[in-house]
Chain A
Amino acid sequence: MRLSFDWLLDFVDVADLTPAAVAEKLTMGAFEVEEIRKVRPEITGPVVVGEIVEINPHPNADKIRLTRVRVDTTSEPLEIVCGAGNIIVGQRIPVALPGARVINRHDGSALNIKQSKIRGAVSNGMLCSPPELGITDGDSEGILILPNTPALGTDIIELLRLHPDHVLHVGTRSNRGDALSVIGLAREVAALLDRPMREPKWQLPEPDETSDAIEVRISDTQDCPFFSLRVLQGLSVGPSPLKIIRRLEAIGVRPVNNVVDVTNYVLHELGQPLHAYDLAKLTTRAVDVRRARSGEQLLTIDGKERELSEAVLVVADQSGALGVAGVMGGKDSEITEKTKFVALEAASFHPARVRRASRLLGLASDSSQRFERGVDVGGVRRASDRAAALLLECCGGYLGRITSGGSDKVSPVQVGFRVEQLKRLTEIDLPAQGVASLLARLGLQSQLVGEALLDVSIPSFRQNDLTREIDLIEEACRMWGYDRIPASMPNSTAAPDLPDKTESTVRQALLACGLSETCTSSLTGVGSFGLGGEALQARNTVRVLNPLSEDHQVLRRSLLPGLVKAVAYNRDRGADDAWLFDVGHIYERTGESSQRETGVHEDLRAGGVLAGTRKLSCWNEKDSNELKSQTDSMASNFYVAKGVVENLLTRLNVNPAQISFQRMAEPPEHFHPGRCCEIRYQAGQESVALGTLGEVNPAISDKLSLRSAVALFELSLGAVRAAGSAAVFTEIPTTPSVVRDLTCDLPQAVDNGSVVSAIAQVSGPELREVNLVSVFRLSDDLKSHSYRLTFQHAEQTLTNEQVEQQLARVRQALTEQLSAAFRT
């Protein structure tokens, strides 16, 4: 909220401190001051009331005139040059005399007044227009004509209340509705500085007992615990006194008329929202506080027609709603220049009820903002009194009767405070008396009960947030000052658990493969990415009920759409080559929710995308073969992605013999159906899916205008973690190894996996490695594979004969099982 420093001074004497010093104190006391703004540029005297006694033309200029202005009754009038056209003899106007500092109307800078010559004519000061005095409202052209004939020589700064003021922008706190007021923050300032509060005082005359009395009927005191209406009669509506106008202006509230201004003034001063109705517009002498009827209409003061619902609380007379309770009044009963009779509402509404209405209507006001945070029911009557006193002062008239419904009685609240608990939690070591006096600064009176127990009385305006011992510990600590508590270290030396390394190992492996890490949104649009979105999201997808936008409607089911979008994004910015990965969650509904179960499964995935070519180097020396071979590039395709996945699994020590890459019976639609596979891990009898890998379906590439093949992979880190193992050392054999090459012609339909497993099946443990050397396409039906087989026995040197026997078995198996042919 905005706090006027000048206003604050009414309640606590901090005139010896700068606004910045008070702001610092508030900031360090839980009320952060975000900004301090000067209300108007500083003006210094002498600027006084003068009267124009003569106006003569300037001999050398058309647009400026020579005036004679009297600023006191005894001395001669002063000669002052003036360029404004709105002056006539006899007017009282502000005169800035030499030595004064006013404001340059053109750029807002300081303007120092000196005796000067203007086109040969002497000028002994300046007649001031409103902007030159820092007054921004009203007519800015011409000299300010002062109404009501103020006495000559009167200090204009006093008269127009042009004192400098500062506005502090103070952060609000959801549990401290009491501090959304000048008096509330003044209490804080007084407490933090340990200075006394000046409680406001006023005198109310006896009410006219013959005046109208309006019956108040509350349908539910849960919604509205207390509601009062006070009648004021014979008021004259007009502009407010300058003091009120300046203070409202300072905090950004537009002055309207004296009645409305007073309700706003008291709202900001005491934190109690008020509303004034034109009594003449009420059709009955009874007012209901009730829920709106479904479909009930109300034209609010801001000129908007609102449709109400049963969730909204209204103040109504017989003919309908007069206003939305605690939020905004209706246009029909608003105060106008013709208003003579006023019904002043001061009430207490339930925070949740006001919040509901405010949200439903999309309407927030200074009033709703306060009710939402809780307004002290014990302060309602006082605010009504304060406003009534001000209204009588500003608008004349006389006081009528007050009627009410509900109760504003506040029960006393006592909270016990074990003194040693303060030390236990905050290390502030004070005797009971010391603690009591810290609390007393906040208006919390306490009594010592027993040896070290304080019985603390909570005033009504803090009963909302001070209910427990811990709340009082916080207050004592705040008064003591958080910064006075010395820093220390916790005193245990227990070793923390080692963090699981899977995630970081995966990242390191992918970084080493040349993929850069990105971070993609876990909220996506519904099927907006054209990457199998529709099918992916058909079932068990978690939807957001109140999404921020179309692109944030559901929780993702895969990392891949985001990664493909990232490729398209970079392509649009001129980067065709993008090798990216992301590590993050995917989400799926797997069951019903309960109080503690969401029924949603989150799986941590690592996803990657390879698009374009990954250059192995950035330059190429044309005429050297040796260098050329170093500057090859690697196009993205299935096999490159598979290589990356294999690297990653190797890095996590997953036994390659237990890994298989298998075609899927029903490949996901985002993959090229012939160029994708599932990665599975065989753990004993159980086969676990680790993830998928493949090239993007060309239909998607075409849709996103991706030029070259894009390969993708996605692994479930939970499954991969379970498949990983710790490394175990195997003795290095000292026997020589024997290498043999084997080339066979195979039908196209036979895959490499079948060949390798057939070889492994018929070979003994001395076959240590089978490496594919080349694949050669012979015809549409036939291909040729070459393998390099490495044989090594752990203990003995293999003879040529033994190796040849093995090879013969391999050839036979391949011939019989896979129709392989061997050329001799």
Chain B
Amino acid sequence: MSVDELKEKLLQVETDAVAELERADTTVRLEELRLEFLGQKGTLTMVLRGLGMLSKEERPPVGELANRVKERIASEISARKEHFYRLELERRLSGETLDVTLPGTGLALGHQHPLTLVTERIIEIFYGMGFSLAVGPEVETEYYNFDALNTPADHPARDEQDTFYTDAGSSVVLRSQTSTVQIRIMEQQKPPLRIISPGRVYRNEEINARKYPIFHQVEGLLIDRDVTLGQLKGTLNEFIRVFFGRPLKTRFRPDFFPFTEPSAELDSQCPFCLGDGCRTCGHRGWLELLGCGMVDPNVLKGVGIDPDIWSGFAFGMGIDRLAMLKYGVSDIRHFWSSDLRFLEQF
């Protein structure tokens, strides 16, 4: 065959292939055509056998044409394949439409207890103000629960009607306040100190919607040089702003606790009515949030800290009460019920 004849043949193969591929309507047919034109026994291969009969000089232009034809056919095949894939995909997708409003599946996550949520929140806020976490035992001696906290021997809090006594020893009680941790920390560490300590406390009180004999408190203690009542106010104002997520007015009412002096009760403007009065605040516009004060010099002396060099403040707040406020929980007993209808709301 002459060069021209060969070229003619190649072009004919190309034309035939393109026409055939155009007519192909399945991927199976495409594969047949690929074998027919490009396979080892395919048309193109057959034509190219004629190349051997050409002279060295004649070969390159024909070879070039042959490659072009081969690529043309190959790309035509992949284009057709891609076309069929798209058609197929469209068909498949249109048949796979889901009801997107059916609920999601998978293992449900558990719910965290609101008291934990609130405790963690409180710790985080004070952590941001430099307070480290401390823990102390719930079973305590009268020494830590009362004596070291400057509580007089005949103070009514020591009454059996207020504090639980145990058979572990004549002076072993269930702590009635987390302030016990103040003493334990000050015995172990030198000032300056900043600690926050959450935990369970116990008081011999009849159970009702507002009271449970076991509840949770967070104690805070800061001892440093030149600590003032103003700094106590500032620290607690910051806490309230972050905890309730908005700046609220506060007021410090003088109060009395054996282990702080001066002592104060901190009221915050009711976050629900902003002071106008509502059910939550008993129409007072204010919520009693916590007790606080400057650490009594007797307490400092008792743990060997010189009150003329160091001063400090302490505060204690009820976690259960804060959680009730935060989530609008109407009855403290819900916290202890283990009722899933309650737990799953958090």
Contact = CB atoms under 8 A, between A and B. Distances in A.
B192 interface: yes
B76 interface: no
Nearest to A562: B338
Nearest to A543: B167
B130 A495 contact: yes
B256 A426 contact: no
Contacts of A516: 110-113, 340, 343-344
A514 B344 CA distance: 11
Contacts of B168: 542, 589, 593, 598-600
A585 interface: yes
B116 A517 contact: yes
Given A521-B214, A593-B168, A425 B229 contact: yes
A490 B169 contact: no
B243 interface: no
Contacts of B335: 519
A614 B107 contact: yes
B340 A570 contact: yes
Interface stretch (B25-33, B46-54, B67-75, B136-144): B136-144
Interface stretch (B10-18, B34-42, B258-266): B258-266
Interface in B106-131: 106-113, 115-116, 120, 123, 127, 129-131
A59 B232 CA distance: 79
Contact of A600 (B130, B139, B154): B139
A634 B256 CA distance: 56
A489 B130 contact: no
A575 B343 CA distance: 13
B166 interface: yes
A361 to B, nearest CB: 14
Interface residue range, chain B: 35 or more
Chain B interface, DSSP helix/strand/loop, else mixed: mixed
A445 B235 CA distance: 35
A9 interface: no
Contacts of B233: 485-488
B154 A545 contact: no
B133 interface: yes
B256 A513 contact: no
A227 B25 CA distance: 121
Contact of A544 (B132, B170, B174): B174
B102 interface: yes
B137 A598 contact: yes
Interface in A487-519: 487-497, 499-500, 504, 507, 510-519
A367 to B, nearest CB: 16
Contacts of B237: 487
A544 B341 CA distance: 32
A513 B112 CA distance: 12
Contact of A500 (B133, B192, B229): B133
Q: 7 closest A-B pairs (Cβ-Cβ)?
A: A593-B169, A566-B338, A617-B105, A30-B254, A487-B233, A487-B234, A474-B262
Interface of A: 27-30, 32, 173-176, 351-352, 355, 359, 372, 424-427, 468, 470-471, 473-474, 477-478, 482-483, 485-497, 499-500, 504, 507, 510-523, 542-548, 552, 555, 562-563, 565-566, 569-570, 573, 575, 578-581, 583-585, 587, 589, 592-600, 602, 614-619, 630-631, 634
Given A474-B261, A518-B338, 20 more contacts: A30-B255, A355-B154, A355-B156, A470-B261, A477-B262, A487-B233, A488-B230, A490-B235, A492-B192, A492-B194, A494-B192, A507-B112, A513-B110, A514-B108, A545-B165, A548-B207, A580-B338, A593-B172, A600-B139, A617-B105
8 contacts: A30-B253, A516-B343, A519-B336, A542-B167, A598-B141, A602-B137, A615-B108, A617-B105
